[in-house]
Amino acid sequence: MRWTDLLANLGVVESATAPVEITSVEYDSRRIKAGDVFVAMRGGATDGNLYLEAAIEQGAAAVVTDSRAAYEVLRREHTSVGAALVEHGRRSLADVSAAVMGHPERRLALSAVTGTNGKTTTAFLLEAMLRSVRRTCVLIGTIEMHVGDEVRVSPHTTPESRDVLAIFADGVKVGATEAVMEMSSHALEQERVWGLPVDVAIFTNLTQDHLDYHGTMEAYFAAKARLFAGVGTPPPRVAVLNADDPYSERLIVDAEHSQMLLYGMEGKGEFRAESVQMLAGETRFRMVTPAGAVEVRSPLSGRVNVYNLLAASTAAWARGLTLDEILVAAAAGAQVPGRFEVVPGGDTGITVVVDYAHTEDALRNLIALGRELVKEHGGRVITLFGCGGDRDRTKRSRMGQAAGEGSDLVVLTSDNPRTEEPMAIIEEALAGVTATGTTCIVEEDRAGAIEIAIRSASAGDIVLLAGKGHEKVQILRDGTVPFDDVAVAAAVLKEIE
């Protein structure tokens, strides 16, 4: 693509033409190759404009910058390099990437999921439903990315716009017509999803999380709400909202230009769950829809997964699936790694579950499901959890209280302490557990804590290992080390068989 043609696609403050061809786009100077355009933008952690010289040395043919000073240096010292000064660096990254890659976002019907809890499972379920009717899909989310049948590692819940568009472009090459992605509040706030036209937007719920970044619940909600107003694009064609979450009432007003489809379990919404039966390894309910009522069966367990199934079913219906097609896909199930993942336990009679629950609300839901599954046999609920370092400190004692109120035994441990002292984090969470009077064992070493939790259990009990879910590392002050809750738990269970 010629630099002059690319400039025509950008809203620039000033620009300098150069007879150069653009082959790709990068925002990380370390990845620059000859012929690339480097988008230098100010970010939360660093300023890409500090790396102009490095990018040019590596062969950048042109630079788009949000810094007047950097632009003047380009005009004065690098006249053979194309240059453009823009007002918004991140928005321009999206615009440049879309243009260079041939606008793959226009060739995919995008369904986007936002909310505090349930994003990953809802996205997995929706993609499975779309794939079940032979639609080729792209999936971008917390655990992994899918490009057709290819599975890729997912470094972030929502990558930078350039990386999202590159995945979309790869999807288009293999015949994808659908995209499903989680949109985090950080990504919406930082405009990493700028310019993506969303066909169906899904809201799961909103509970306290990420206040270390957003500051207040109001700011956190405002970031989520941007999806329903459109981020550089018109509002979604369809807004799928949780009728039982009070924040949905405000989204209904904000999303006045979209078709509303509400789902819930409390008698409200176009898609409603009635006569819910929750069994070990199976959930059944009657789903009332605008096209009639049907009986849903799924191998997923628990009340929270009824909401996830309703959200995915509503979105699938909005994407043109019939109720019969939705039922078949729901019955097939879509096991999401680290989301109520049962660890094989041999003949111990102990159920061990690994789950990503890392907020007060998610922890309460997880424990409630555990209680439901053991009540028939009078088993106990043993909950292991920790709180992440360098994150919202105000939720720690509340998580401790949630664990203590619902469990028979709590094992409090470390969970990605990052730069903080693990025991300092544990002490803050311990205050909440202590207030409930529930017995609590403290073990800083997570592997040791998992062993304590499992060896404290008897046949008929359930052990809930909360917080890390699908993660395969532990993030410490001195670096990142391999760690897998599932593998550690499986090894303990094997020893006590």
Lowest-confidence segment of 92-96, 185-189, 260-264 by average pLDDT:
185-189
Is 119 annotated to bind a ligand? Reply is: yes
Q: What is the DSSP secondary structure assignment for residue 47, as one 8-state letter?
A: B
Of 100, 115, 139, which residue constitutes the final position of a domain? 100
Residues 240 and 153 in one domain: yes
**pLDDT value at residue 476:** 96
Whichever domain contains 372, its CATH number is: 3.90.190.20
Residues 39 and 66 in one domain: yes
Is 467 annotated to bind a ligand? Reply is: yes
Lowest-confidence segment of 17-26, 200-209, 253-262, 263-272 by average pLDDT:
253-262
**pLDDT value at residue 337:** 84
Residues 121 and 92 in one domain: no
DSSP bridge partners of 475: 480
3-state secondary structure of 28: coil
Is 365 annotated to bind a ligand? Reply is: no
Q: What is the mean pLDDT of the chain?
A: 93
Is 136 annotated to bind a ligand? Reply is: no
pLDDT-based confidence at 339, cuts 50/70/90? confident
Residues 273 and 152 in one domain: yes
Rounded to whole angstroms, the Cα distance separating 13 from 49 reads 17
Residues 236 and 347 in one domain: no
**pLDDT value at residue 205:** 95
Lowest-confidence segment of 324-328, 356-360, 401-405, 450-454 by average pLDDT:
356-360
**pLDDT value at residue 230:** 93
Q: What is the DSSP secondary structure assignment for residue 21, as one 8-state letter?
A: B
Q: In what order do the strands lie in the sheet with 82-86?
A: 12-16, 82-86, 62-65, 36-40, 24-26
Is 117 annotated to bind a ligand? Reply is: yes
CB atoms within 10 A of CB 375: 10
Is 14 annotated to bind a ligand? Reply is: no
What is the distance in angstroms between the CA of the first residue and the CA of the last residue of the chain?
63
Is 416 annotated to bind a ligand? Reply is: yes
Is 471 annotated to bind a ligand? Reply is: yes
pLDDT-based confidence at 301, cuts 50/70/90? confident
Of 332, 355, 387, which residue constitutes the final position of a domain? 332
Is 184 annotated to bind a ligand? Reply is: yes
Look at residue 254 and tell me whether its pLDDT is greater than 70.
no
Lowest-confidence segment of 38-47, 80-89, 225-234, 357-366 by average pLDDT:
38-47
Q: How many domains does the chain have?
A: 3
Q: Phi, psi at residue 109, to the nearest 5°?
A: -85, 115
CB atoms within 10 A of CB 276: 13
Of 45, 76, 100, which residue constitutes the final position of a domain? 100
Residues 413 and 300 in one domain: no
Residues 45 and 121 in one domain: no
Residues 15 and 61 in one domain: yes
409-430 pLDDT per residue, tens: 999 999 999 999 999 999 999 9
Helices 119-132 and 303-318 cross at an angle (nearest 10°) of 50
- For 214, 287, 310, 421, the CA distances from 274, given in Å and listed in that order, are 36, 6, 11, 47
Is 254 annotated to bind a ligand? Reply is: no
Whichever domain contains 258, its CATH number is: 3.40.1190.10
Is 158 annotated to bind a ligand? Reply is: yes
Is 118 annotated to bind a ligand? Reply is: yes
Is 159 annotated to bind a ligand? Reply is: no
Structural domain range at position 242: 104-332
Look at residue 204 and tell me whether its pLDDT is greater than 70.
yes
Residues 92 and 109 in one domain: no
